[in-house]
Chains A and B, each alone.
Chain A
Amino acid sequence: MTIPDIKCLLPMVILACGILFTMMLIAVNRNHRLIFISTLLVLSAAIIADSLQTSEKPHAIGEIVIVDRFGIYYQVLLLSATWVISIFSYISLEHFFSDKRKEEYYLLLMLATLGACMMAISTHFISFFVSIELLTISLYTLISYYRNQAKAIEAGLKYLVLAAMSSAFLLFGMALVYAVSGTMSFSGLSAITPSLNASAQLMLVAGIGLMVVGIGFKLALVPFHMWAPDVYEGASSPISAFIASVSKCSVVALLLHLFVIANLYQYQKVMLAFIVIAILSMLMGNLLALMQKNVKRILAYSSIAHLGYLLVAFIAGKGMGVEAATFYMTIYMITVIGAFGIMTIISPSDEDANIENLKGLFWRKPYLAALFTIFLLSLAGIPLTAGFMGKYFVLAAGLGKTEWLLALVLVISSVVGLFYYLRVIVVMMKTDENSILTSSSFLRSSPAGVLMLTFLGLLVIGLGVYPDWLIEMVKNIQ
């Protein structure tokens, strides 16, 4: 490790040291607010360190990681998302978690973020696997952190079993690829593949296929999506937001890196698999969401569909495809964190996330309901919201590569998708006097949370009207 190496990894170093520091802080003084502030400071320091990285050239550290603008963009995105999520976590823990030991939550959150950030710069199977495990193992605990709730424990266990299995697939795929090519770095893979004979090619494709299973599981793509609704429902809202945004975003970054650097776009069979997965995810995600009664489950299925949309951009490949995928991911993260943020404030437990409990929200809490409407409309891709611009970008990327089928499925499934987003909105607008909940935990609002939501809402509207700056930023990352 040289000085420039460490300089490039400084944000990660700061984050890792920050985690240790916070851990020690807990030992000295177990104070929820203190630990929360320390978390925010550590994350802020890492974000600042990242945004100070000015070097234009990509900096590779061995074959393990590469710090380029792409990686830095994703790191900033992931860290900022965690920053926002920790605010909602604070609200959730403070109000809805009766247990005393709240502080370790933040350590796990930061550890998961560290894994996610490392994944965004990984260019080697080893660094990839270590970071994804760091992320996943922290998530096991985070999902079942609210241990007084049976559903949280169930969700955590479900995630544990299935994630472990998907890791096995991932490892086996890597082993197969390694067996044929003798290399585990992405760039090495792209160099070696042209010289392989047919049977070795087949094995390579099989290996990549198995890795796609593992990645598909992390992204909750159909047919590897079974865990998503249960986990989203069981976990606390901030953690659901974390899974939907940070966890998926880091895997998307890795996927883009892997396919671009190792040039896996050349394998027609793999791409065909992705096309099928994308179509299934878009259709199934939206169709299954229609039948849900719990808002968090609706958001889970909607996130399956959205990752399907994102795959359309991913399939479009290098250039515009990568830009569109990054743009879409950014916007999806802003929106989904906003949506789960609202859920954090208005419904403390999974039972309260029932759609009927939102009845009349528009007339009791007009401001929160208006924000929630904005987020839902953005998810549905209605103009004046960022989601529309994202969908446009994805469609343009897809059509640029003449993927007419994918574009058509995207359009049709997003019409289906409208149904359930609208249903939530309509329920919020209903007035049925006798159904209004008077539970004391309901509708607790916190100024910090509302402020954060306002910011996210403005961002969604702002990007919907004037997305130019983000497009510029996204175009710069390659």
Chain B
Amino acid sequence: MILFWLIILLMGCGLLAWLTARWNNTLPRMISLAGITVQFLVVIWLWLIHRQGNGVGRWIISYTHAWIPDFGIQIKLGVDGLSLLMLVLTSFLGILSVLVSWKDIKERIGFFHFNLMFVLAGITGVFLSLDLFLFYFSWEVMLLPMYFLISIWGNENRIYAANKFFLFTQASGLLMFLSILGLYMVHGRQSGIYTFDYEQLLGTVMGAQTALLLMLGFVIAFIVKLSTVPFHSWLPDAHTQAPTAGSVILAGLLLKTGAYGLIRFVLPLFPQASHQFAPVAMVLGVISILYGAKLAFAQTDIKRLIAYISVSHMGFILLGIYAFNEMAMEGVVMQMVVHGVSTGALFIIAGALHERIHTRDVTQMGGLWNKMPKMGAMGLLFVMASLGLPGLGNFVAEILILIGSFSTNKTLTVIATTGLVAATIYSLRIMQKVFYGKEQKQWDVTDFGFREMGMLISLSVAIIWLGLFPAPVLNLAKSAAVNLTGNTNNIVQVKPNINKQKYLVINEGVFGIRLISEKLQNKQINHKATIKNDHTGY
């Protein structure tokens, strides 16, 4: 029941914020901040009780209620490790997006917060739904408010960007809806039970051809959201034109719904078809990594640049998901969290810059460190995070993905690794163009204030914590990863001892890379012996 209330809470706060806007400008902000904070606390509370081991079975907590029984549609919500992590991320970035628009949004405050809360409610619904109809429902609910956020409070070219965003996601979403209905029919004909229940649909037997077609419907919807290369073109426009809060949510959360959908629905529902599709997906992932990196390097618009960084980072996620092993999967979940944090931070910085100097053109910036040392320092930290500096969260995620996928496809992984080099180049370019070098113009700017500093410090605590002590997150991710990859049979599972790898990463920093890969090779040669060693060693 508490899960359902999480969604209702956000929607209610949204409505309330809209209604109260006519009396007071601060009230809507307070209401949405309160709502999302309550969600954050509840989610943290769930995490804590989970760690004490109260969870029974696969789901930490779940809720089922009949909705439209005639069609076998239920309100079925459930939380496992994966969705819990996503919820933490949602509410954390939710708080930040309310805070970041505290002074940013001066017009139509009530309606803005209404939309903000509804996007967050939709995202929460997506991460919680265990009924495919409800999932699609939430999937759509998060679209429209986002459309409004971009098209009303966006930058100069907002209508175009909003339309593009909406059409890409809506068209792919409807294909997914067709697939959902197809799956519903196939399952119904076989078993006589017409239901959208995720757990019941899991075991649906179908022909290879049917499975492939149905899977493609899902996959297209998810990789459009994930902005994989042939379908990525909506993302730079939407990210650039959205207001800061919108960019944070788009990059931090909306992209993750695509990855979440792949992990939660595509792999378990269509294990065989996913294996057929894996090579294509991995190639697409690698292309996204490199192409995103190349385009990021070519941008002069700072928000566009960050958007292409997202494309590149999402490539890692796709690569990792289709590597089909536990380690890569943990890396993927980690990447989802850390990308949300680091890119969210970069967008907040970019938004703050835009607010201060009214341009996003990096060629007009330069030498801003002297004027805004606090912003510069924060920028440096998160740029380092996004290029994968050891000690920060992104490193852990990317290294896990690469090691995991190395055992599945060596060539592609090697190519993908060059993406890390490219990441260094484009990330450092941000620092160089914006904060170092000669001043292009005499900007009259103020440094970060108390509110902005607070937000960024919380983000930096998060990213450093994730980089140094990823164990809590990885443990949560692990349960999900085991559940999910456990479903996909016929995989030669390389099961290196995860904890050991992790400690290596932490203790030995950059040098850990070499050690880990050596270890892994040893393991492949002498798998059993290594596992034995691991057990004795730790």
Q: Is the CB of A467 within 8 A of B68?
A: yes
Residue B175 at the A interface, CB < 8 A?
yes
Contact mask for chain A residues 273-298; partner B; CB cutoff 8 A; 1 contact, 0 none: 00000000000000000000000000
Q: Is the CB of B70 within 8 A of A475?
A: yes
Residue A411 at the B interface, CB < 8 A?
yes
Given A399-B182, A399-B185, A419-B163: A411 and B70 interface contact (C-beta under 8 Å): no
Q: How far is the CA of A46 from the CA of B105 in the complex (A)?
A: 53
Q: Which of B70, B167, B181 contacts A472 (CB 8 A)?
A: B70
Contact stretch, chosen from B140-148, B234-242, B289-297: B140-148
Q: CB within 8 Å of B: which of A172-204?
A: none
Q: Which residues of B contact A418 (CB under 8 A)?
A: 166-167, 170
Q: Is the CB of A468 within 8 A of B68?
A: yes
Given A377-B144, A467-B68, A472-B70: A414 and B181 interface contact (C-beta under 8 Å): no
CB distance from A119 to the nearest CB of B (A): 28
Given A377-B144, A399-B182: A411 and B167 interface contact (C-beta under 8 Å): no
Number of B residues, CB within 8 Å of A? 32
Q: Is the CB of A395 within 8 A of B70?
A: no
Interface of A is mostly: helix
Q: How far is the CA of A418 from the CA of B140 in the complex (A)?
A: 13
Q: CB within 8 Å of A: which of B28-69?
A: 67-69
Contact mask for chain B residues 69-112; partner A; CB cutoff 8 A; 1 contact, 0 none: 11100000000000000000000000000000000000010000
Q: How far is the CA of A411 from the CA of B182 in the complex (A)?
A: 13
Q: Which residues of B contact A466 (CB under 8 A)?
A: 67
Question: A411: nearest residue on chain B (CB-CB)?
Answer: B174
Residue A448 at the B interface, CB < 8 A?
no
Residue A384 at the B interface, CB < 8 A?
yes
Q: Is the CB of B174 within 8 A of A415?
A: yes
Q: Is the CB of A411 within 8 A of B175?
A: yes
Q: Which of A399, A422, A426, A471 contacts B181 (CB 8 A)?
A: A399
CB distance from B145 to the nearest CB of A (A): 10
Q: CB within 8 Å of B: which of A382-437?
A: 382-384, 388, 392, 395-396, 399-400, 407-408, 411-412, 414-415, 418-419, 422, 426, 429
Q: How far is the CA of A415 from the CA of B133 in the complex (A)?
A: 19
CB distance from B342 to the nearest CB of A (A): 32
CB distance from A363 to the nearest CB of B (A): 7
Residue B461 at the A interface, CB < 8 A?
no
Q: Which residues of A contact B144 (CB under 8 A)?
A: 377, 382
Q: Is the CB of B171 within 8 A of A415?
A: yes
Q: Which residues of B contact A411 (CB under 8 A)?
A: 174-175, 177-178
Q: Which of B137, B152, B167 contacts A419 (CB 8 A)?
A: B167
Interface of B is mostly: helix
Q: Which of A377, A384, A468 contacts B70 (CB 8 A)?
A: A468
Q: Which residues of A contact B212 (CB under 8 A)?
A: none
Q: Which residues of A contact B485 (CB under 8 A)?
A: none
Residue B151 at the A interface, CB < 8 A?
yes
Q: Is the CB of A429 within 8 A of B166?
A: no
CB distance from B152 to the nearest CB of A (A): 5
Q: How far is the CA of A475 from the CA of B167 in the complex (A)?
A: 34
Q: Is the CB of A400 within 8 A of B185?
A: yes
Report the interface size class on chain A: 20 to 34
Q: Which of A377, A395, A400 contacts B177 (CB 8 A)?
A: A395
Question: A414: nearest residue on chain B (CB-CB)?
Answer: B174
CB distance from A341 to the nearest CB of B (A): 22
Residue B381 at the A interface, CB < 8 A?
no
CB distance from A286 to the nearest CB of B (A): 13
Contact mask for chain B residues 207-226; partner A; CB cutoff 8 A; 1 contact, 0 none: 00000000000000000000
Q: Which residues of B contact A422 (CB under 8 A)?
A: 147, 163, 166
Q: CB within 8 Å of A: which of B118-163?
A: 133, 136-137, 140-141, 143-144, 147-148, 151-152, 159, 162-163
Q: How far is the CA of A444 from the CA of B284 in the complex (A)?
A: 56
Q: Which residues of A contact B137 (CB under 8 A)?
A: 383-384, 388
CB distance from A385 to the nearest CB of B (A): 10
Q: Which of A363, A399, A408, A468 contacts B69 (CB 8 A)?
A: A468
CB distance from B73 to the nearest CB of A (A): 9
Q: Which residues of A contact B68 (CB under 8 A)?
A: 467-468, 471
Q: Is the CB of A471 within 8 A of B185?
A: no
CB distance from A11 to the nearest CB of B (A): 29
CB distance from A414 to the nearest CB of B (A): 7
Q: Which residues of A contact B163 (CB under 8 A)?
A: 419, 422
Q: How far is the CA of A115 from the CA of B108 in the complex (A)?
A: 48
Q: Is the CB of B159 within 8 A of A426?
A: yes
Q: CB within 8 Å of B: which of A143-165?
A: none
Q: How far is the CA of A447 from the CA of B181 in the complex (A)?
A: 43
Q: How far is the CA of A266 from the CA of B68 in the complex (A)?
A: 32
Q: Is the CB of B151 within 8 A of A429?
A: yes
Q: How far is the CA of A396 from the CA of B136 in the complex (A)?
A: 14
Q: How far is the CA of A88 from the CA of B137 in the complex (A)?
A: 33
Q: How far is the CA of A49 from the CA of B286 in the complex (A)?
A: 69
Which residues of chain A have a CB within 8 Å of any CB of chain B?
A: 363, 377, 382-384, 388, 392, 395-396, 399-400, 407-408, 411-412, 414-415, 418-419, 422, 426, 429, 466-468, 471-472, 475
A411-B178, A418-B166, A426-B159 known, 6 other contacts, Cβ within 8 Å: A377-B144, A399-B178, A407-B181, A412-B171, A418-B167, A426-B162
* The 3 nearest A-B residue pairs measured at CB: A383-B140, A411-B174, A415-B171
13 residue pairs bridging A and B, Cβ less than 8 Å apart: A363-B108, A382-B140, A382-B143, A383-B140, A392-B133, A395-B181, A396-B71, A396-B181, A407-B178, A412-B171, A414-B174, A415-B171, A426-B159
